[in-house]
């Protein structure tokens, strides 16, 4: 079979894409047309469901599953960054230039667009030895709405998908970071937000270095 | 009006009992147990010669697992009754409930052949709406939409998740 | 239920009884699923189509319950023509806010086409320009599986496949749906 693949690049030049005769292509439709469009929450729930079960195949650990969900979210973050900035009024169309602006952009713009409301909180790590860590808090992540995690998988948080999206936005803005989702809601009776999730954003050392340097200047 | 709910059974389209739960024991004389009562009822329907299903072959063998045996008996019975009702009353007719001196069995079936059987005190009014609510508000929301629950529930897998259990228990206790 | 009544029912449910989310969340999620499959199957698009169909099938098995709960129709359709109308005007409406056109019936009433004027899943999409994707990949193939799974749950065995797609450069996006048979109730296993 391998000989079928080889000639593709060399022998035959790709002929380019075909388009419908009515010219109905993505280039002919305004990029904003789907901005305020809605679909049913159930459609999302079912797609996400399949994404999670596909990602659960042949995994070795919960971390493995979360990693896969993160990877699936990442390209969405990259695209959303461009899309959301494009939709900003011209004067605020610049990409975030420091950590705080970036995190506010995620907490407000990204959240508002994807989930219909801003995230519930944004905090800096209180541990002075971890100045590179920030937390975005969502009391009830939309992606977890229908998920009931069994006890034997209690560390699992499927919002790892959203963590991937955040990571994509950070990477796309040239603030490389690792983002992970952690459940912090207590399961006890009467707890206000049992699904409360913290997205821990840990920026790469070079980001901190640049931030410090710019801060001094 | 408060109603005593005894138990709930859910069967899937493969006729397997994928969930059962008991709330209160029926207030019955010690000699009269549930399966025998159901079987009596079943024999009455046999008299019409319409309930020709596997339920007929339920053997009076010693019980290894009472819960599972009850579930099988109940399924055989409601399945026969449902078939009989359709045969006599037409495809749109539905078997809704039957009553004995000890309990009332309420039946609800979806077009996907998910079947619910709820046992209550004999004097209870129709529980069809209760079963419909369990289906649309608890089953669909917490079992069907849960990504961590499998699509089919062989052996009841994925049904006994926390959100479904808590929601169901709260809902049923609210009726009592 | 008549086709026009089905359209009214679909509209009414969509307006009043459906939890909604931003469309782009759904569209981008589907996009990332397809992209991941193309990666995992090393751009073997035939395999990608199959996997999408399989995922759709799993979704269909679940989604039908939601459809029944939302539409409150606890009655089966009386024939395959009614099924087609309910599927297009209620099913697609309440999950995707579109109503594909039901057309091209065969004379035995067992096969029809769904023509998609709009397809939200394909917003933002252009297939890879690798000389193969436009011939091999059915981007929205998940729909076929959804139909197959959902109808199986209400005891209809169907086969569904796309025959054209604007993403491939065709002028329409059309899916062909065929009724294979009605499925009988399963009987309880006989006791030994």
CB-closest option in C22, C30, C131 to A14: C131
| Residue A74 distance to chain C (closest CA, Å) | 9
A interface test, pick of B139, B146, B147 with most A CB neighbours within 10 Å? B147
pLDDT band at B148 (very low <50, low <70, confident <90, very high): confident
With 60 as the cut, is the pLDDT of residue A48 above it? yes
Predicted local confidence at residue C28, as pLDDT: 94
Inter-chain CB proximity C65 and B140 less than 8 Å: yes
Question: Does the pLDDT at position B48 exceed 60?
Answer: no
- List CB contacts (< 8 A) between A160 and chain C: none
Restricting to C residues 92-121, those with a Cβ less than 8 Å away from any Cβ of A are 94-97, 120
Residue of chain A minimizing CA distance to C117:
A24
Considering the domain boundaries, does residue B164 fall inside one?
A: yes
Given an 8 Å threshold on Cβ–Cβ distance, is A52 in contact with B145? no
| Residue B145: domain span | 5-25+66-175
Pick the residue from chain B with its C-alpha nearest to C73. B111
> Is residue A99 within 8 Å of residue A85, measured between CB atoms?
no
pLDDT at site B160: 87
C-alpha A196/C-alpha A185 separation (Å) is 5
Residue A19 confidence (pLDDT) above 80: yes
Q: What is the pLDDT of residue C137?
A: 97
Domains observed in chain A: 41-216 (3.30.1380.20)
The answer to whether the CB atoms of C62 and A49 lie below 8 A apart is yes
Tokens in use for C192? 């030994």
pLDDT tens readout for residues A52-80: 999 998 889 999 999 999 999 999 999 99
Give the least confident one: A102-111, A147-156, C167-176: A147-156
Helix (H, G, I), strand (E, B) or coil at A146: coil
Q: How many CB pairs under 8 A join A and B?
A: 36
According to DSSP H, which parts of chain A are helical? 2-5, 7-10, 41-55, 62-87, 99-105, 111-115, 160-172, 205-216
Residue % of chain A over a pLDDT of 90: 61
The whole-number pLDDT of residue A15 equals 59
Specify whether the CB–CB gap between C26 and C120 falls below 8 A.
Answer: yes
A-chain residues near B147 (CB < 8 A) = 45, 48-53, 146-147, 158
Taking 70 as the pLDDT cut, the residues of chain C under it are 191-192
**Alpha-carbon distance B148 to A153, whole Å?**
10
pLDDT band at B38 (very low <50, low <70, confident <90, very high): very low
The shortest C-alpha distance from C191 to chain A (Å) reads: 34
Contact C131 A115 (CB under 8 A): no
Task: Give the Å distances, CA to CA, from B140 to A72, B46, B144.
Answer: 26, 35, 5
ipTM of the complex: 0.93
- Return the CATH superfamily for domain C1-191: Trafficking protein particle complex subunit 3 (3.30.1380.20)
Contacts B162 to A, Cβ<8 Å: 148, 150
Residues of A in contact with C130 (CB under 8 A): 8, 14
The Cα of A38 is separated from the nearest Cα of chain B by a number of Å equal to: 19
Is C65 within 8 Å of B14 when comparing Cβ atoms? Answer: no
Tell me the C-alpha distance between C66 and C85, whole Å: 18
Please report whether residue B44 resides in a domain. no
pLDDT at B117: 97
B50 in a domain, yes or no?
Answer: no
Chain C residues close to B72, C-beta within 8 Å = 188, 191
Contacts of A146 in chain B (CB under 8 A): 141-142, 145-147
Which chain A residues have any C-beta within 8 angstroms of a chain B C-beta?
42, 45-46, 48-53, 146-150, 153, 158
What's residue B40's pLDDT? 41
**Residue A16 binned pLDDT confidence (cut-offs 50, 70, 90):** confident
Question: Token pair for residue A10?
Answer: 């060399």
Q: Which residue of B has its CA nearest to A146?
A: B146
Decide: A45 and C63 in contact? Cβ < 8 Å: no
A149 band by pLDDT with thresholds 50, 70 and 90: confident
Query: Domain spans of chain C?
Result: 1-191
Question: Which chain C residue lies closest to B60 (C-alpha atoms)?
Answer: C191
Position of tokens 């009433």? C109
The nearest CA of chain B is from the CA of A214 a distance in Å of 45
pLDDT, residue A189, reads 55
Contacts of B132 in chain C (CB under 8 A): 74
Report d(CA C83, CA C94) in Å as an integer.
15
Parallel, antiparallel or unpaired: strands A197-203 and A177-183:
antiparallel
Q: Which is more confidently placed, C166 or A92?
A: C166
Residue B42 lies in a domain: no
CB atoms B54 and C62 under 8 Å: no
Within a domain: residue B31? no
Tell me, what's the pLDDT at A217?
57
The total of structural domains in chain B comes to: 1
- Given an 8 Å threshold on Cβ–Cβ distance, is A50 in contact with C33? yes
Show the 3-state SS of chain B: CCCCEEEEEEECCCCCEEEEEECCCCCCCCCCCHHHHHHHHHHHHHCCCCCCCHHHHCCCCCCCCHHHHHHHHHHHHHHHHHHHHHHHHCCCCCCCEEECCCCEEEEEECCCCCEEEEEECCCCCCCHHHHHHHHHHHHHHHHHCCCCCCCCCHHHCCCCCHHHHHHHHHHHHHHC
For residues B40-44, average pLDDT: 40
Residues of B with CB under 8 A from a CB of A: 141-142, 145-150, 161-164
**Quick one: tokens of A86?**
């494009």
Bridge partners of residue B50, in order along the sequence: none
Does a structural domain hold residue B121?
yes
Residue-level length of chain A: 217
Q: Which two tokens stand for residue A204?
A: 């790469």
Tell whether B37 is covered by a domain: no
Spell out which residues of chain B touch residue C73, defining contact as CB-CB under 8 Å: 111
Overall average pLDDT of the B49-57 stretch: 40
- List the alpha helices (DSSP H) in chain C: 3-16, 23-40, 45-71, 80-86, 92-96, 133-136, 142-153
Subunits with 3+ C-beta pairs closer than 8 A to C: A, B
Check which CATH number belongs to the domain holding B76 and give it. Answer: 3.30.450.70
Residue A92 has a pLDDT of 76
**3-state SS assignment for residue C109:** coil
- CA dist C94 and A46 (Å) reads 14
Q: Say what the pTM is.
A: 0.86
Are the CB atoms for B103 and B119 separated by under 8 Å?
yes
Please tell me the predicted confidence (pLDDT) of residue B145: 87
Instruction: Compute the mean pLDDT over every residue in chain A, rounded to the nearest whole number.
Output: 87
Residue bearing the bigger pLDDT, A34 or B86: B86
When mean pLDDT is compared over A140-154, B34-48, B115-129, the highest value belongs to B115-129
Q: Which residue has the higher pLDDT, A214 or A29?
A: A214
Residue A133's DSSP bridge partners are A202
Q: Are A158 and B145 an interchain contact pair (Cβ–Cβ within 8 Å)?
A: no
CB neighbours of residue B120 within 10 Å: 26
- Chain C interface includes A26 (CB < 8 A): yes
Residue C116's φ and ψ, nearest 5 degrees, are -95, 110
Question: For B158-171, what is the mean pLDDT?
Answer: 92
- The per-residue pLDDT for C15 is 92
């Amino acid at each position: 079979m391998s000989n079928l693949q080889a000639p593709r690049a060399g022998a035959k030049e790709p002929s380019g894409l075909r388009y419908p005769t009515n010219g109905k292509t993505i280039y002919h439709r305004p990029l904003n047309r789907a901005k305020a469009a809605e679909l049913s929450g159930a459609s999302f729930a079912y797609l996400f469901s399949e994404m999670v079960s596909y990602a659960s195949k042949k995994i070795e650990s919960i971390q493995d599953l979360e990693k896969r969900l993160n990877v699936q979210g990442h390209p969405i973050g990259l695209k959303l960054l461009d899309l959301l900035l494009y939709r900003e009024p011209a004067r605020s169309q610049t990409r975030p230039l420091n950590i705080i602006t970036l995190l506010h952009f995620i907490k407000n713009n990204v959240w508002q667009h994807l989930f219909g409301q801003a995230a519930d909180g944004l905090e800096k790590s209180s541990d002075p030895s971890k100045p590179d860590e920030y937390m975005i808090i969502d009391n009830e992540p939309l992606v977890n709405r229908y998920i009931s995690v069994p006890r034997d998988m209690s560390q699992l948080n499927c919002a790892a998908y959203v963590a991937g999206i955040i990571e994509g936005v950070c990477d796309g803005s040239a603030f490389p970071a690792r983002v992970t989702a952690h459940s912090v809601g207590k399961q006890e009776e009467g707890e206000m937000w049992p699904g409360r999730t913290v997205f821990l954003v840990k920026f790469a050392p070079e980001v901190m270095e640049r931030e410090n340097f710019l801060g001094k200047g | 009006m408060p109603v005593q709910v005894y138990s709930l059974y859910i069967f899937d389209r493969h006729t397997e009992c994928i969930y059962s739960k008991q709330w209160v024991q029926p207030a019955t004389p010690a000699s009269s147990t549930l399966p025998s009562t159901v079987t009596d009822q079943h024999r009455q329907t046999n008299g019409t010669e319409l309930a020709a299903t596997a339920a007929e072959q339920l053997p009076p063998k010693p019980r290894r697992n009472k819960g599972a045996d009850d579930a099988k008996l109940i399924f055989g019975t409601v399945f026969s009754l449902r078939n009989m009702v359709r045969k006599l009353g037409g495809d749109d007719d539905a078997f809704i409930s039957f009553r004995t001196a000890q309990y009332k069995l309420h039946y609800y079936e979806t077009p996907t052949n998910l079947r619910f059987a709820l046992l209550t005190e004999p004097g209870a009014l129709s529980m069809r709406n209760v079963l419909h609510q369990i289906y649309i508000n608890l089953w669909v929301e917490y079992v069907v939409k849960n990504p961590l629950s499998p699509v089919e529930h062989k052996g009841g897998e994925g049904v006994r998740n926390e959100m479904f259990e808590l929601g169901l228990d709260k809902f049923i206790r609210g009726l009592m | 239920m008549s086709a026009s009544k089905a359209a009214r029912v679909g509209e009414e449910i969509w307006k009043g009884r459906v939890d909604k989310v931003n469309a782009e969340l759904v569209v981008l999620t589907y996009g990332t699923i397809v992209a991941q499959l193309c990666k995992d199957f090393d751009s073997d698009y035939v395999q990608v189509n199959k996997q999408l169909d399989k995922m759709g099938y799993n979704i269909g098995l679940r989604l039908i319950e939601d459809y029944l709960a939302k539409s409150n129709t606890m009655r089966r359709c009386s024939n395959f023509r009614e099924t087609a109308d309910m599927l297009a005007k209620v099913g697609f409406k309440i999950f995707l806010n579109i109503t594909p056109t039901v057309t091209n019936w065969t004379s035995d009433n067992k096969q029809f086409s769904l023509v998609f004027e709009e397809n939200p899943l394909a917003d933002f999409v252009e297939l890879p320009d690798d000389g193969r994707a436009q011939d091999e990949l059915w981007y929205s193939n998940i729909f076929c599986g959804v139909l197959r799974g959902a109808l199986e749950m209400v005891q209809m065995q169907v086969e569904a496949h796309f025959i054209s797609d604007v993403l491939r450069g065709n002028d329409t996006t059309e899916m062909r749906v065929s009724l294979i048979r009605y499925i009988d109730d399963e009987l309880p296993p006989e006791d030994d």
